[in-house]
Amino acid sequence: MRGSHHATMTASTAAGTHFLGGGAEGVAPGAGLVVNNSCGMGAAQDVRALAMAFRDPRIDVITTSGCAEPPGGARWSLSVDQTVGGQLLQRLETRYPKLYFNAVGNGGATERLTTAHGQALPDSIAIGGYVPAEAWKANLGVIPTRTQTLAPYSKFGPSSDGALKPELLGLTEILSAGDVGPESSENSPVFGPLPGYLISGGTSAAAPNAAGHAALLISAAKQSGIPHDSARVRMALFSTAKFLDGVEARQQGHGLIQVSKAWEALRKLSDFVPPTFKTYAPLRTKRSGERSAPNVGQGLYETEGWAPGTSGTREIVVVRTSGPRSPSKYQLRWHESANTSDEAFAPAFSSSYKEVSLALNEAVKIPVAIQVGASGSYSAILDLVDPTVGLTVHSVMCTVIVAEPLSARNRFMTTVTRRVPSPGNAFVFADVPSGTSLLRVRLEQYGGKNLHLQVNTPEGIAPREQEKAQWLPLSDGVNDYTFRKPLSGVWQFDVTQYEYAPGAVNAQPAREVPITV
């Protein structure tokens, strides 16, 4: 696609095969896939393009890698039904049920997932960016400090209503097609400039990569004569994804797509009709009371009220909304991993229930026990597994943010030490009391490469001091920042290290950097 760098890249990652020895190979005859590249488009054109794709009966899979924001994009705390863009996309998904993959976005850990581009809609599948170790070595010239390394710019979940987002991971920073023209600076430092090729980037590449896997499943199902509706394909993908150790649940969702296992799962679902569910879970954020259903979300999500070493119990209400009237039993299963590789891991979430019985339209409460340690982010996925097929029919995200208190007891000061993986992220959360006139942050680091700081207020947006620069570069030594009249509540500070060595023929080992805040 000459003259369209972004469109060429996204289309090629959907059509590519044998990425790094993966199981996705061959072609997908009979599967209709549309790559909606909305970079450079206005909001109206973006929505119109999606409407055309949803309505077209030839299309099975839609994937969006976009930059434009549909009309009605608003503050992250709002519900789907409180934004125009969210309502439009929700109506399309309801009327024309198709597999809709959406790039989770490149805003990093501090930028919230909203309904603006559809990533947070219940029926869309949000895709985060995963970079294999081989790609870091060959294409970016570094050997990561951790075994599993996602793209540091890939947005974290959950959505603003606590829902499980992203659901899956797709590949990025891999070889893809590019414009035929001037040599691109994004070519591999190992292989050098290759006209017509480039190194893909962003979650814009991850979403069509995931959509290509879905197209393979649908094509195989059509040729085999088995059902391949969106509900079955979603269930097959979610149930068989590889949950990665050392990666927090709210960053990876179900994990990395395993297309061969997903195909076996889809075959098992030929005579199985996936049931539907609704979830009502506690929501406690700075603006959760402003939602259409105040303080209630699709997942358990609390950014306020937690201090280091505390515990508590919450209840998640689950309702089965389709299927037989008689009760159906489901096994409960947890997926949880710490965002670390060098500390002892103790699960923060558990339940006294091992299974649950759900009659049609009957609300059932599931108790969730929470035990947190040091300040930081804790998240886990609670799966409901149907024992007749051994696959996941419903999942609930649980997320708790634990902040460092600032109070008279500690003279309104705290010091936190973190290690920043390379590439990767490290977080500090601080609970700022009401009436604070000035918040001062001092961050000290030595030897880090390409380190940046992102700051988020309790409202989920950047403070006014950072409005013109989303990523603040960190220099060696002491970095001082001040925020005047800060909003009370939990502030998030994300230090991202995105080390790379363009031009390095031999990959160099990266190193974790200690920081003190």
Same domain, 218 and 364: no
Residue 314 lies in domain: 277-402
Amino acid 469: pLDDT: 60
Where residue 109 sits, what CATH number does that domain have?
3.40.50.200
Task: Give per-residue pLDDT as tens, 122-176.
Answer: 788 999 999 988 888 877 778 888 888 898 888 888 988 899 999 999 998 877 7
Amino acid 460: pLDDT: 79
Amino acid 36: pLDDT: 63
> Is the model's pLDDT at 73 over the cut of 60?
no
What share of the chain in percent tops pLDDT 70?
Answer: 77
Same domain, 238 and 287: no
> Is the model's pLDDT at 285 over the cut of 60?
yes
Same domain, 214 and 124: yes
Q: Kindly state the helix (H) or strand (E) to which residue 216 belongs, with its residue range.
A: helix 203-224
Task: Give per-residue pLDDT as tens, 334-351.
Answer: 999 876 544 567 899 999
Same domain, 73 and 197: yes
Amino acid 185: pLDDT: 47
> Is the model's pLDDT at 80 over the cut of 50?
yes
Amino acid 27: pLDDT: 60
**Which residue, 233, 268, 303, sits at the end of a domain?**
268
Say if CB 272 and CB 239 are below 8 A apart: no
Where residue 417 sits, what CATH number does that domain have?
2.60.120.380
Same domain, 127 and 162: yes
Task: State which of 189-193, 262-266, 506-510 shows the largest mean pLDDT.
Answer: 262-266
Task: Give per-residue pLDDT as tens, 224-257.
Answer: 999 999 999 999 999 999 999 989 999 999 999 9
Q: Residue 376: CB partners within 8 Å, gap ≥ 6? A: 339, 401, 402, 427, 429
Same domain, 289 and 258: no
| Secondary structure E strands in 3-51 | 33-37
Q: Which of 296-305, 427-436, 468-477 has the lowest mean pLDDT?
A: 468-477
Where residue 325 sits, what CATH number does that domain have?
2.60.40.10
Question: Cβ atoms within 10 A of the Cβ of 205, count?
Answer: 29
Q: Which of 332, 299, 303, 328 is nearest to 316 (CA)?
A: 299
**Which residue, 362, 380, 402, sits at the end of a domain?**
402
Same domain, 74 and 194: yes
Cis peptide preceding 458, ω within 30 of 0: no
> Is the model's pLDDT at 194 over the cut of 70?
no
Same domain, 168 and 189: yes
Same domain, 57 and 189: yes
Report the number of distinct structural domains present in the chain. 3
Same domain, 174 and 306: no
**Which residue, 248, 268, 288, sits at the end of a domain?**
268
Q: How far is CA 207 from CA 126, 280, 469, 493, in A?
A: 8, 28, 26, 27
Query: What value does the mean pLDDT take over residues 318-343?
Result: 87
Same domain, 468 and 449: yes
Same domain, 310 and 210: no
pTM (2 decimals)? 0.90
Task: Give per-residue pLDDT as tens, 470-514.
Answer: 678 888 888 898 999 999 999 999 988 876 655 555 556 666 767
Amino acid 384: pLDDT: 98
